[in-house]
Structure 1
Amino acid sequence: MTSPTAPEARRVLAVAALGTLLVLVAFTLPLSTLNATADALHADLAGRTWILSSMSIGLAAALLSAGTLADDIGRRRTLAVGLVVMAVGSVTGVLVGDVTVFVLSRIVVGIGGAAVVASSLGMIAHAFAPGPARAAASGVWGAGVGAGIAVGPILSALLERVHSWHDAYWVLAAASVVLALVAERCVPDSRSDRPRGLDVAGAVSFAVAVAALLAALVEGRQGWTHPVVAALAGVALLASCLFVVVERRSTAPMIDLALLRSPAFAAATVAAVSVGAGAVASMSYLPGFVTLALDIDALGAATLLLAWSATSVLTALLARWTPPQVSGRAQLAVGLIGIGIGLAALTGLDAESGWARLLPGLLVAGVATGVVNAALGREAVASVPAGRGGMGSGANNTARYVGSAVGVTVVAVVATRPGPGAVRDALVDGWNVATAVTAGVSIVGGLGVAALHVKTRSGASTSPLGADGIPGRPSGSWS
């Protein structure tokens, strides 16, 4: 398949970045309007938890399958279908007005979002050759991630203040349909030269494993001894074992398990899990925390989150000027450690702390998150065989969202644990402990990526992989 012309490549990048932005907008819409949404849907504490977490299940369960489909049937087509699915799910959730239907619709939105995210990086990998051009394009894609996180809570809070929390979901649906039409008319399609077909047994077992794991984490926040939690955890374990067995026997596995021995793939995966369990987990909890504990209203909380997300957007865009001598894995390691430093600066609050006390840590974490987002998109497709960019994107983003689900659960459990004194003081104490934990996760993740980077440079790997750490690929054949 021929490579796109320069104007076509720019259109591909615009559509891929905007699609990713819309997915992150959808992901963050409930953060600043949770109280209004839960009250309108008559949701109890468990319902509120599911409102926040349900989209993660659809995303994480479908990302790997969506990446494989995108590579095989066409990345633009997969992206357009995903956008339409997001629109349908968003409209359904606000039309019915029932908490169960809303949660299910959010899972559907997550499945559509998985198709968009997985195909977007594959489109970029096809449109831009390895080197500075792809680095710059990956920076724009990373900026789309940060921009979506910035826009979602602000949009939701503003429209809820003007009219209704419903309005943000209508805007999301309309924007998704418009972008799908633009993609179909203006962007060339691309696919792998050697389609492998969808490994149905692997896809089903993987989806069941991830969905059961995330559902267990969500239900576990209400009580870890409940039989439902144990049952879901058992299903996740059994489905995970089945997935490994299926992939080992499949002639066209969803993911080559030999990649797990690749330092490049392992580094990208560790980075994705770490940024999800660190930065994303803390920032997901931030709006609710400052509203309850620091008396900051919903719009103020969304604006405060902007200090982190907008900074990450700017940094991701500036990352294109990173010297070529600085590898992607070095950027990931430095970025994760920087996130840890920024999150550590968010500890030590008291009940009288204001927004200014949080600002320095948010800015540091924002800069570091931008560095990670810019490098992670490139490393996700560079760490898999040529022509499988969608699969690489799906695997990497699955790791990110599983990490964020685990991190959000840990933060929620630690930050809301009963403590001595007033409720407000207990919330602040819980936040201090939770951010210290996520800071530690980020720093450990950064050190792990650094160790994998050193291992590759020293040639210490003895696995049967290419010199770049990719199965069956010669040195320098990054794609």
Structure 2
Amino acid sequence: MVRRGGQWWALAVLVLPVLLISVDTTVLGFALPYLSEDLSPTGAEQLWIVDVYSFVLAGLLVFMGTLGDRIGRRRLLLIGGAAFGAASVLAAFATSPLMLILARALLGVGGATLMPSTLSLIRSIFTEDRKRRTAVAIWSAAFSGGMAVGPVVGGWLLEHFWWGSVFLINVPVMVLLLTAGPLVLPEFRDPNPGRFDPWSALLSLATMLPVVYGVKIAATSGISLTAVAAIVVGLALGALFVRRQRRLEQPMLDLALFSDRTFAGSVITNLLGVFALVGLLFLLPQYLQLVLGLSPLVAALWMLPATLAGVVGALAAAWLAQRVRVPVLITIGLLFGAAGFLVLTTIGTEAGVAAVVVAFVLVGGGIALSETLTNDLVISAAPVNRAGAASAISETGYELGGALGTALLGSLAAAVYQSGLPATAPAAARDTLGGAVATAHALPAVDGAELLATARESFVTALHTSAWVGAAILLYTAAQAYFLLGRRRSSDRDGATPVCPEEAAMCS
């Protein structure tokens, strides 16, 4: 039983993991130049450091979401929070690229429990449509707020401590979650979960990991036999997974959810929107610090208006949804994001701070608006007892989109950057812009200045290319969302599926 006032105390605790994950995402981007100088990762290792978290998380989300429905969503949230905190300490004191990659993978394991648990608990706690939509808006605003706070705190830490300190800010947040969670969060689980099927769990992981590994190899090293073989194996295992789910009376993943146009369209919209956004987050901190020469803290402050726009966009979504059709709002948000990417195509190597601020305000605010609404559509389309699995599917699309955005847009930018440097440039300079900065400092003044100018010009060209691709993706996503989500059943018009009497007992 959740008391009315207790709903909002529970929500206050549920936003803590969201803040943690968003802070962790943004501070890593600002720490990359320091990682490049200290650990000397190759270009491929740098991408692995960034996206192995998302790949592991994406592979485990469906399993973790279903596990939460089975053992209890609060219990899984607290277990995952403890694991996330421990992995953060390991990442903070990593002494090699491999060790940091391993720590980030363990963060992915812990993180796989956090997002679906929080969103499914919101679905269970808030049973009234308007309150649920407001709760999802606050949940989304917390994510954007973490993106605002993270760079500022991370920038200050990077100016006063070593790069590993950015991971330690996760620890106090996790301590607060583990302390307050048992006191204010109710427990929810599926009262009739059915028999646990370990083969489904193994197949879900075995499907995701080869596919994302193959995409990763193809993105960083080009199409190869290894990449194609990994993708084929993953897709084959995915076919076995789908076949098994269709035969089970109580499957781990309810494929019937995808027959709902609202659910499927919202998941795809989330994936593509995050694909574009995270690719941008990977490149902009490097542009501000390594091209324009700003300190981490100053760069973070210039990005602050953009992330605050995300908070406004998320909170405005619930209010606007009472006055404008949801598919129209989602489309408008994505069009704002596309406009932001087009603004980025105007920046240069000497001055571009104003354009970055305007562009990121449009992208952050627009995507926050659209994805707050699509998240609400996803969790409201599923019955309460399957909210964990539905949230996990949504977050799988979200995290996979983020990982692919980093891998594909990051790799596209890397390829364009490398093509702009002469073949005689040192290998470290050709790998990354951070490597070029470090190499230039070790060269004679004239040679170093020439290398830096070439590398920065090449990086800006790479950023322009990625911005054009991001704009095209968001324009397509806007059109898709308008037509795919525009035809909704009359029962879904308010963004929610009525709760059946059997589920009401779980939500009271």
Q: Give your verdict on TM over 0.5.
A: yes
**1:433 matched to 2:465:** yes
Which residue pairs with 2:123 in the alignment?
125
Aligned to 2:48: 50
Q: Which residue pairs with 1:450 in the alignment? A: 482
Q: Distance in 2 between matches of 1:242 and 1:323?
A: 40
3-state SS in 2 of match to 1:455: coil
8 Å Cα contact 2:152/2:297 also seen in 1: yes
SS of 2:385's partner is: coil
Contact preservation (8 Å) 1:285, 1:411: no
The residue aligned with 2:242 is 244
Deviation at 1:84?
Answer: 0.4
- Aligned residue for 1:464? none
What secondary structure does 1:97 align onto? coil
Say which of 326, 329, 332 aligns to 1:331: 329
Q: For residue 242 of structure 1, what is the amino acid of its counterpart?
A: L
1:84 aligned to which of 70, 82, 85: 82
Once residues 84 and 114 of structure 2 are traced to their aligned partners in structure 1, the CA distance between those partners, rounded to angstroms, is: 9
Report what 1:462 is aligned to: none
Residue equivalent to 1:398: 396
Unmatched tracts of structure 1, length 5 or more: 460-466
311-320 vs 131-140, which deviates more?
A: 311-320
Aligned pairs for 1:254-269 within 5 A: 254-269=252-267
Q: Deviations over 1:71-112 (max 9, x none)?
A: 222111111111101011111223352322221111111121
On the 8 A contact 2:321/2:329 being kept in 1, the answer is: no
Which amino acid is the alignment partner of residue 279 of structure 2?
A
- The reply on whether 1:270 has 2:268 as its aligned counterpart is yes
Q: In structure 1, what is the Cα distance between the partners aligned to 2:255 and 2:183?
A: 37
Measured in 1, the distance between the counterparts of 2:186 and 2:323 equals 33
Aligned partner of 2:70 among 69, 72, 77:
72
Q: 1:315-394 to 2 correspondence within 5 Å? A: 315-394=313-392
Distance in 2 separating the partners of 1:61 and 1:183? 26
Going from structure 1 to structure 2, the CA distance change for 1:196 and 1:436 (only over 3 Å counts) comes to: farther
Shift in CA distance, 186/260, structure 1 to aligned 2, threshold 3 Å: closer
Relative to the length of structure 1, the TM-score reads 0.90
Rounded Cα–Cα distance in structure 1 between residues aligned with 2:277 and 2:478: 13
242-251 vs 215-224, which moves further: 215-224
More helix by share: 2
Per-residue deviation at 1:48?
Answer: 1.4
Please show how residues 137-156 of structure 1 align to structure 2 within 5 Å. 137-156=135-154
What's the offset of the Cα at 1:314? 2.4
Q: 1:382 to 1:164 in 2, by over 3 A?
A: same
CA RMSD of aligned residues (A): 2.4
Query: CA separation of 1:413/1:44 partners in 2, compared to 1, >3 Å: closer, same or farther?
Result: closer
List aligned pairs for 1:139-178, cutoff 5 A: 139-178=137-176
Please state how far the C-alpha of 1:235 moved relative to its aligned partner.
3.1
Deviation track 1:308-345 (CA, whole Å, cap 9, x = no partner) reads 22210122123332242534443322222221122222
**Structure 1 residue 217: Cα displacement:** 3.3
For 1:431 and 1:161, locate their aligned partners in 2 and report how far apart those are by CA, in whole Å.
Answer: 26
Percent sequence identity is 25
3-state SS in 1 of match to 2:92: helix
Task: Please state whether the residue corresponding to 2:304 is helix, strand or coil.
Answer: helix
> Separation in 2 of the partners of 1:215 and 1:413?
14
CA distance in 2 between counterparts of 1:46 and 1:394 reads: 28
Match of 2:178 in 1: 180
Change (3 A) 1:28 1:323: closer
Q: Does the Cα contact within 8 Å between 1:63 and 1:114 map onto a contact in 2?
A: yes
Deviation larger for 390-399 or 411-420? 411-420
- 1:164-200: per-residue Cα shift (whole Å, max 9, x none)? 2222222212321221221012322122333245442
Residue 201 (structure 1) shift: 2.0
Aligned to 1:352, the other structure's residue is in SS state coil
Q: TM-score normalized by structure 2? A: 0.85
1:381–1:475 Cα change, 3 Å:
closer
Contact 1:72 1:192 in 2 (8 A): yes
State the partner residue of 2:108: 110
- Bigger CA radius of gyration: 2
1:336 touches 1:446 (CA, 8 Å); kept in 2?
yes
CA–CA separation in structure 2 for the residues paired with 1:475 and 1:230: 41
Looking at structure 1, the residues matched to 462 and 47 of structure 2 have their Cα atoms a distance apart, in angstroms, of: 18
Between 5-14 and 317-326, report the one with greater CA deviation.
317-326
User: Does 210-219 or 66-75 show the bigger shift?
Assistant: 210-219
Give aligned pairs, total: 465
Query: In 1, Cα distance between the equivalents of 2:485 and 2:223?
Result: 41
Q: Distance in 2 between matches of 1:380 and 1:140?
A: 16
Q: 122-131 vs 373-382, which deviates more? A: 373-382
Unaligned runs of 5+ in 2: 422-453, 504-508
Distance 1:281 1:42 in 2: 22
Q: In the alignment, which residue of structure 2 is the partner of 1:310?
A: 308
Question: Which AA in structure 2 matches 1:404?
Answer: G
Instruction: Give the Å deviation of 1:59.
Output: 1.6
SS in 2 for 1:144: helix
Asked whether the equivalents of residues 47 and 407 of structure 2 are also in contact (C-alpha less than 8 Å), the reply is no
Tell me the alpha carbon deviations over residues 2-52 of structure 1, each in whole angstroms, 9 at most, x when there is no partner. Answer: 3x1122211211111111111222233321011222443342322212111
Q: Which residue of 2 aligns with 1:234?
A: 232
Q: Within 2, Cα distance between the matches of 1:425 and 1:40?
A: 24
Q: CA deviation at 1:258?
A: 2.5
- In 2, the alpha carbon distance for the partners of 1:447 and 1:300 equals 37
Return the alpha-carbon distance in structure 2 between the equivalents of residues 52 and 173 of structure 1. 20
Shift of residue 476, structure 1, vs aligned partner: 4.9
- 3-state secondary structure, aligned to 1:154: helix
| Secondary structure at the counterpart of residue 252 of structure 1 | coil
**2:278 matched to which residue of 1?**
280
